A and B are shown apart, each in its own frame.
Chain A
Amino acid sequence: ADGAGSDNEDLPATDDEDEDALLSAWKLRELQRIKRDQEQRDEFAKEAKEIERRRNMTDAEIAEENKRLGLKKGGDRGQMR
């Protein structure tokens, strides 16, 4: 025995399948992939738009928005110092 020979005990069949069932299952997976990809793209686009918007603001406007959103310049350094 070649040690890895346990590979050959009752392998599940991967042939003798009807193509239609396989194809429709694949179509569903493919659509899910396209959907996931599109959602990711939308996310990136949204983020890019937000960055662009902030870049076009004046310092005063940014400071005001930071205050409104509760953001601090430089971030919270925490207790460990």
Chain B
Amino acid sequence: MANKTDVGAGHVHGTDPQHLIEKILASKIYDHSYWKEHCFGLTAESLVDKAVDLVCVGGTYGGQRKPTKFMCLLLKMLQIQPDKDIVVEFILNDDYKYVRILGATYMRLVGSPTEIYQYLEPLLKDFRKVRIRDPMGAYKITHMDEVIDGLLTQDYYFDIALPRLPKRVHLEAPKRLPPRVSGLEALKLLDETTGAGEGEQEQENEEDTSD
């Protein structure tokens, strides 16, 4: 069957990677014409071309909960299990927003907690607009960092149940992750935005040194 997982693909979280998408959604994808016409026989390379053409992200929409193309490609990635390098390349690319989100979502599904934080957190600095298809089928505008934040903090996103991700604090305690450096600090923007929440500490420090 064409919908079988690649024989070379290893198990993820102790199961067939395709099981990370619930059966009901997976069978909707298998029945979708985009899957049948455009996803058949895709390889890691030809999948890139399809991903570049994406114009929105989202889970399912409409009365019949039709899957988006984004979902079809995500399931395809689970099916063919591209090399980690390729997924990382998806995430690191700056030109194609939807390829980046596809890579990030895939990483969130199959990666280890440290990998997920390591690769997804830098994307919180990306504030470009992206289109997301809401359950009613309408296109909404959101931002890259909001999508990534959703992937990191929610347990259900894009209509799929995400594998459990430990809180950052619990990975920092045993030194498996360094503390997060916010994009604000990197840009030295914190001083500009004093008064609003975390800016205060930074300001105090500066006053001390100026004496």
| A residues adjacent to B (C-beta < 8 A) | 2-4, 7-8, 11-12, 14-15, 17, 22-23, 25-35, 37-38, 40-41, 44
| B residues adjacent to A (C-beta < 8 A) | 32-34, 37-38, 55-56, 66, 68-69, 97, 124, 127-131, 139-141, 143, 145-146, 149, 167-169, 180, 182-184, 189, 193, 196-199
A33 in contact with B149 (CB, 8 Å)? yes
Q: How far is the CB of A75 from chain B (nearest CB, A)?
A: 26
**Nearest B residue to A44 by beta-carbon distance?**
B169
Q: Classify the secondary structure of A's interface with B.
A: helix
B182 in contact with A4 (CB, 8 Å)? no
Kindly name the residue among A8, A28, A30 whose own CB sees the greatest number of chain B CB atoms within 10 A: A30
Q: How far is the CB of B166 from chain A (nearest CB, A)?
A: 12
CA distance A33 to B143 in the complex (A): 14
A14 in contact with B131 (CB, 8 Å)? yes
**Nearest A residue to B139 by beta-carbon distance?**
A12
Given A2-B38, A22-B129, A29-B145, are A11 and B139 also a contact pair (CB < 8 Å)? yes
- Chain B residues with Cβ below 8 Å from A40 are 167, 169
A11 in contact with B145 (CB, 8 Å)? no
Given A26-B143, A30-B183, A33-B149, are A4 and B69 also a contact pair (CB < 8 Å)? yes
Q: How far is the CB of B136 from chain A (nearest CB, A)?
A: 13
B197 in contact with A11 (CB, 8 Å)? no
- Chain B residues with Cβ below 8 Å from A37 are 168, 180
